[in-house]
Structures are given as C-alpha cells and as structure tokens.
C-alpha cells in the first residue's frame, strides 16, 4: 500500500474519509464535500440515531449522488482537544482496515478543522498515515490459493493536509519505525522450519546495508568462551545455536558507552525433556520474540540514523528433546562461572539470557542493559495480554521505560523484586536452581537473571503475554505484535540522543 500526502483540496474519485466533530458538527472538508453531494452528508448526520460524531463512531454513505465518490466515510473525531498521536494512529489504522477489505483501491482522508487539537497539521497527518501503515501488515507469504476477494484491495492511501512538506518530514521517521516493526512481525511469524538459529543469524546480516556491524558466534566459539548455560539448552537440537551481536555506532562520541539490548531467541521451544503439552505447542515458534524485537529495534535505530551507540545481543537456540538433550538434574557452568542445576528444561530462556547478559556486560561495559524475553507463563496469569512485566534494579530506568511505553501504547507494569524471592532458587548441588516454586514464577525468573548483570543498570521485560495477539486492534493485526520496538525506540530518542 502506497502512502502519500496531498493538499487539502478534495480528490476526484475513490473512497473519501472526512471528520465529524462531537455533536454532529461537520469539519470544513466535510462541509465542502456536503455541498458537492447536494447536502447528503448533512441530511445523513441529522437523520442518524447512532452517529453523533463521538470519537470512533463511523457512518458510510455509498455513492452519494453527484459527488463522484464510490463511498464517503464519516468518522467521529469527538472533541479535538482530546486527540493525541495514539488516537490519530488508531483512526488511521481503523480506516485502513475497514477499506482494505471493501474492494476500494484508493482512499483519501481529510481530517481538518482541528483548531483545538494540540498537534499541528503535519503531526496529525503523519500519525494518521503511520497508523494506516502499521495496520496494513500481513504475513501472507505462504498463501498460494487465496481468493482475490480475500486479498487486500487498497493500494493507495492519501492523507490530505495543509502542511504537506511537514507531514512528509514527520512521517519519514515514523516510516523507519514501521520498517522495524514489520521486520519483527515477520521474524515472529515465520515457522520454525524456516527460522532457526542459523537462518535467523543470516537474516541479521542484511542489517549491514543500514550500517549495522554484525558478528555471529557459532557453537565452537561459544564453547571456547564457556557459554555452558546457553549451550546446554541447544544441545538436543540438530539446528546448532548462534549468538548474534548487532552494533550501531551513531553517537558523536564513538567511544561512549553503549546501551545494550539482549533478546531471548528460542526459535522453537518444545520444552525439551520437560516437554510441553501438544495443545498449543505450535505457538512456540514465537518464543524468539525478544530477539525479534531487538533486531527490529536495531533496524529502526540504524534506519533513522539515531545518535546513540547501541548493542544488540541475540541468543539463538532451539530447545528440543532427543538422546543428546539436556536432562532435568543436569548441572551446567555459565559464562559467569556460576553453576546452575537444571530442574526443568522448559525453563530454558533464562539459561540463554544468563550467558547473553554476562557476555554483553563483560564485552561492552554498557551504560544500561535491557533484556526482552517471552520468559514465563506466570506473567500472563498476572497481567494477561494488556501489559508486559517490567523488572529492574534501577528506579529511574523503570520510570523512563514505563513512560515511554505509555506514550506509544505499549504498556509496562513494574513487578516487585527482592532477596526474599532468591530463597526459592537455592540449590544443594549448585550455585542456584533454574526454577523456584509455583509462587511468583515471573519474579523468581527475574531474580535469576539479576545474578548475571552485576552493578549495571538493568531492566527485564517479560513479553510472554504481549508478543502474539489473537485478535485485531486498530494498529496491530492479529499475529505478531512487535511489542517493544516502538517503546524502546521512544526510550532511546527521549533519553539518549542529544
């Protein structure tokens, strides 16, 4: 779908979307269109019993006489003073979703007269377009017999504005963010027979075209380093592990300490010897969601030439049962030298992150470390699919991340941490166990990870409940969400770029 911007003059044909303010008041564009349509819009609004211009209400007029349009969509804007970037993005996404399956090939959207809105014309237009682009995502590369009527018809989405130049400029950055979001959604959506550690690592090499330095460590190199925790997870699979390091040096001071983003990349999680139930196991293709988000984030930072030094570390493995697989009761030695008694091989993500976190800390001495992982089912029980769990050893970092998430609609909820939870990880045979009891499962997982970050400011985002959506929302079609890409980009832009 091609997105473009044009002046506020009315288009000639196709579908057109205009705004109606709360109380049924027409915006200037809607009033101008009403004259062209012989007063049809005014009559429709006056006669409507369930449409009064409240936000997110809509009404469609099919082929109004005399105007030449196939349909006119009246969209309720509510009170302009209540509109913000997220609400505008939602409008753009909702309109795109409604029209893309309607048979229309072109759409023009004109939302003007928002004098009480705190955003300028350029920001209004750019965010409408951004929402439309985010909602347009489809993972359809394996559909070979899809009927024509089931395919998206909308090819052109034009946003009319009084500030075309400004809208284009603002949208340039948002478009780069969408690129990273789409890459993450692609990675999360791929089946595990296509996306496995080696093929994931190869895809990361494409980031070199944006100026990202990419380093790939194979099994032999990781053994030499002593990554016993990560390799223990991987040993049951025919697909060998990889550790991928993505480096973007965009700060003026090239020697400035970087931010480090670490992603759990379990490309398929069967549970290993502690095998999962078969029902729903197909969902475990997206147990690499954290690594997918880090890859998408690094794509955004490089794409928009972010003025920051950033490191992405991806621990890529498969967790499979076989004669070579790790067994419950095994003891492994992590890269840090700490030993771990593996009581449950399905608590594998924390083992992968243990070595990835320590590697990032020791190799790059980062200013901040943030890891993302589809780590625990317990966080889904706590927060459902509305929030990701946030754990941190630094209050300021936790606050900044929470506010960044709220600004982009990717909400975080901070969870408690403390020494009392560590007792559940005590082992008689090793330095720690890889699981605690049933109580506080997401917290004990975070306490486990904390042992591998030292004194570095650190946050852990448990995204198990928000990585995949089973229903549509205005800017996120069902499937892979890419939750975290926009959040972390916002965090970087607000606090680290100068």
- Whether residue 387 sits in one domain with residue 247: yes
CATH number of the domain at 236, please. 3.40.630.10
pLDDT, position 468: 98
Is 446 inside a domain boundary? yes
Mean pLDDT of the chain: 95
- The CA-CA-CA angle for residues 201, 491, 186, to 5°, reads 35
For residue 253, tell me if it sits in a domain.
yes
Cα dihedral 93, 65, 62, 147 sign: negative
Mean pLDDT calculated for residue range 353-368:
98
Residue 97 — pLDDT band, cuts 50, 70, 90? very high
Output phi, psi for 429, to 5 deg: -110, -15
Written as six digits, the tokens of 266 are: 């379990």
Range 471-477 contact pairs with CB under 8 angstroms and sequence separation of 24 or more: 472/97, 473/93, 474/89, 474/90, 474/91, 474/93, 474/94, 474/97, 474/131, 474/135, 475/89, 475/90, 475/92, 475/93, 475/131, 475/134, 475/135, 475/409, 476/134, 476/135, 477/97, 477/135, 477/137, 477/138
Provide the percentage of residues in the chain whose pLDDT is more than 70.
Answer: 100
Question: Which pLDDT does position 29 carry in this prediction?
Answer: 86
Q: Is there a single domain that holds both residue 230 and residue 112?
A: no
Do the beta carbons of residue 445 and residue 389 sit within 8 Å?
Answer: no
DSSP 18-84: EEEETTTEEPHHHHHHHHHTTTHHHHHHHH-SS-SS-TT-EEEEES-TTT--SEEEEEEEE-GGG--
**Whether residue 267 has pLDDT greater than 80:** yes
Which pLDDT value is given to residue 37? 86
**Angle formed by the axes of helices 289-303 and 485-495, to 10°?**
40
The domain that contains 87 carries what CATH number? 3.40.220.10
Burial annotation 239-265 (CB, 10 A radius, 16+ → b, else e): bbbbbbbbbbbbbeeeeeebbbbbbbb
Instruction: Give the per-residue pLDDT at 317.
Output: 98
Q: Is 166 among the domain residues?
A: no
Sequence-separated (6 or more) residues with CB below 8 Å from residue 239: 196, 197, 198, 267, 318
Whether residues 290 and 156 share a domain: the answer is no
Assess whether pLDDT exceeds 90 at residue 28: no
Looking at residue 115, what is its pLDDT? 66
- Choose the catalytic residue: 350, 433, 450, 451: 350
252 and 207 in a common domain: yes
- Last residue in a domain, options 108, 129, 160: 160
User: In this structure, is residue 119 part of a structural domain?
Assistant: yes
Question: What is this structure's pTM?
Answer: 0.96
- Indicate if 307 belongs to the active site: no
The model's pLDDT over 169-216, given as tens digits with 9 standing for 90+, comes to 999 999 999 999 999 999 999 999 999 999 999 999 999 999 999 999
Are residues 185 and 151 part of one domain?
no
Final residue in a domain of this structure, among 160, 188, 206: 160
Active site residue 247: no
Taking 80 as the threshold, does the pLDDT of residue 133 lie above it? yes
With respect to residue 172, please indicate whether it lies within any of the assigned structural domains.
no
pLDDT confidence bin for 129, thresholds 50/70/90: very high
Are 190 and 282 contacting, i.e. CB atoms less than 8 angstroms apart?
A: no
Residues 315 and 457 occupy one common structural domain? yes
Residue 10 predicted with pLDDT over 90: no
Higher local confidence (pLDDT), 262 or 9: 262
Q: Do 212 and 76 reside in the same domain of the chain? A: no
Mean pLDDT over 29-34 rounds to 87
Indicate the number of domains in the chain: 2
Question: How far, CA to CA in Å, does 196 sit from each of 39, 78, 118, 318, 462?
Answer: 59, 47, 46, 7, 22
Residues 116 and 261 in one domain: no
Inter-residue contact 452 to 77 (CB < 8 Å): no
Identify the three-state secondary structure at position 414: strand
Active-site hit among 156, 276, 406, 457: 276
What mean pLDDT do residues 115-132 have?
Answer: 90
What lies within 8 Å, CB to CB, of 176 at 6+ separation is 300, 303, 304
Which residue, of 108, 131, 160, is where some domain finishes? Answer: 160
Residue 169 forms part of a structural domain: no
What SS3 class is residue 216?
Answer: strand
Task: List Cβ neighbours of 13 (8 Å cut-off, separation of 6 or more).
Answer: 68, 69, 70, 106
Q: Has residue 253 got a pLDDT over 70?
A: yes
Establish if 89 belongs to a structural domain: yes
Q: Are residues 217 and 100 in the same domain?
A: no
Name the residue range of residue 229's domain: 179-495
> Of 78-82, 84-88, 442-446, which range is least confident?
78-82
Residue 472: which residues within 8 A CB-CB, separation 6 or more? 97, 478
pLDDT digits (tens, 9 = 90+) for 314-335: 999 999 999 999 999 999 999 9
- Residue 186 resides in a domain: yes
Residue 63 pLDDT grade (very low, low, confident, very high; cuts 50, 70, 90) = confident
- C-alpha 298/C-alpha 484 separation (Å) is 12
Candidate from 137-151, 228-242, 300-314, 477-491 with smallest mean pLDDT: 137-151
Of 41 and 412, more confident = 412
pLDDT band at 64 (very low <50, low <70, confident <90, very high): confident
Residues 256 and 361 in one domain: yes
414-467 pLDDT per residue, tens: 999 999 999 999 999 999 999 998 899 999 999 999 999 999 999 999 999 999
Per-residue pLDDT averaged across 243-266, rounded? 97
- Per-residue pLDDT of 161-177, as tens digits, reads 989 999 999 999 999 99
56 and 125 fall within a common domain: yes
CA distances (Å), origin 210, targets 119, 203, 249, 468 = 31, 13, 11, 27
Could you tell me if 227 and 86 lie in one domain? no
């Amino acid at each position: 779908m091609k997105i473009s911007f044009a002046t506020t003059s009315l288009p000639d044909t196709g579908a057109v979307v205009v705004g109606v303010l709360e109380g049924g008041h027409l915006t200037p564009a809607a009033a101008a269109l009403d004259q062209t349509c012989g007063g049809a819009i005014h009559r429709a609004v006056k006669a409507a019993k369930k449409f009064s211009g409240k936000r997110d209400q809509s009404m469609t007029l099919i082929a109004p006489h005399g105007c030449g349009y196939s349909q006119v969509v009246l969209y309720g804007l509510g009170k302009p003073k209540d509109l913000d970037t997220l609400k505008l993005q939602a409008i753009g996404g909702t309109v795109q979703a409604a029209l893309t399956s309607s048979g229309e090939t072109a759409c023009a959207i004109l939302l003007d007269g928002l004098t009480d809105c705190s955003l300028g014309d350029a920001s209004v237009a750019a965010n409408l377009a951004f929402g439309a682009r985010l909602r347009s995502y489809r993972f359809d590369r394996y559909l070979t017999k899809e009927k024509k009527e089931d395919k998206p018809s909308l090819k052109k989405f034009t946003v009319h504005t009084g500030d075309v130049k400004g809208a284009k400029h603002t949208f340039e950055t948002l478009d780069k963010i969408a690129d990273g979001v789409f890459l993450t959604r692609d990675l999360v959506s791929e089946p595990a027979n296509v996306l496995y550690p080696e093929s994931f690592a190869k895809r990361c090499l494409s980031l070199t075209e944006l100026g990202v330095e990419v380093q790939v460590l194979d099994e032999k190199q990781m053994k030499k380093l002593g990554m016993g925790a990560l390799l223990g997870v991987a040993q049951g699979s025919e697909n060998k592990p990889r550790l991928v390091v993505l480096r973007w040096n965009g700060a003026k001071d090239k020697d400035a300490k970087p931010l480090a983003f670490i992603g759990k990349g379990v490309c398929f999680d069967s549970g290993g010897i502690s095998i999962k139930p078969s029902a729903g196991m197909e969902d475990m293709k997206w147990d690499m969601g954290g690594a997918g988000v880090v890859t998408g984030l690094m794509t955004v930072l490089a794409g928009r030439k972010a003025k920051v030094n950033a490191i992405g570390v991806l621990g890529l493995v498969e967790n499979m049962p076989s004669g070579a697989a790790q067994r419950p009761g095994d003891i492994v030695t992590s890269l840090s030298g700490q030993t771990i008694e593996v009581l449950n091989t399905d608590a594998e993500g924390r083992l992968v992150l243990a070595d990835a976190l320590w590697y990032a800390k020791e190799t790059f001495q980062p200013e901040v470390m943030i890891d993302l992982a589809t780590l625990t089912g317990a966080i889904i029980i706590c927060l459902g699919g509305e929030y990701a769990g946030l754990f941190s050893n630094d209050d300021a970092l936790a606050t900044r991340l929470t506010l960044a998430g709220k600004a982009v609609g990717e909400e975080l909820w901070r969870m408690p941490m403390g020494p009392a939870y560590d007792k559940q990880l005590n082992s008689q045979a090793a330095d720690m166990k890889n699981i605690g009891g049933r109580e506080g499962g997401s917290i004990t997982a975070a306490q486990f990870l904390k042992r591998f970050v030292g004194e570095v400011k650190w946050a852990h985002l448990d995204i198990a409940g928000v990585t995949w959506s089973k229903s549509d929302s205005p800017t996120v079609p069902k499937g892979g969400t890419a939750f975290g890409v926009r959040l972390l980009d916002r965090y970087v832009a607000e606090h680290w770029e100068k």
